[in-house]
Structure 1
């Protein structure tokens, strides 16, 4: 399945609303602290997933 975070095809992961998040990205997201450089990217990506979900309902 296509991961909405890293944009790669990876089978293992979770379905979050209408998006697939692979196991690697899920682990990275849960370990990211607010101070980390990746934090803004993950927040932006999750915000877009939420927006997309709202427009589909």
Structure 2
């Protein structure tokens, strides 16, 4: 039996399908990654990872 599920989208940061998050331009960032990004200091090694993933936002062209 098919159930009615909320729409899921793939997060550009973690690559997982999630229901809750934000959209920036045409890209989706889940609420877990958004929260972690906000807490990450610029000196943290993970900061560069986040920046690299965020660059995907600028690479997408609207057709």
What is the match of residue 30 of structure 1?
38
TM-score by length of 1: 0.85
Residues 13-28 of structure 1 aligned to structure 2 (within 5 Å): 13-28=21-36
Give the distance between the partners of 2:57 and 2:50, measured in 1 at CA. Answer: 11
| CA RMSD across the alignment | 1.2
What residue ranges of structure 2 are gaps of 5+ in the alignment?
A: 1-8
Unaligned runs of 5+ in 1: none
Aligned equivalent of 1:56? 62
**Between Structure 1 and Structure 2, how many residues are aligned?**
55
Answer 1 or 2: which has greater helix percent.
Answer: 1
Higher strand share: 2
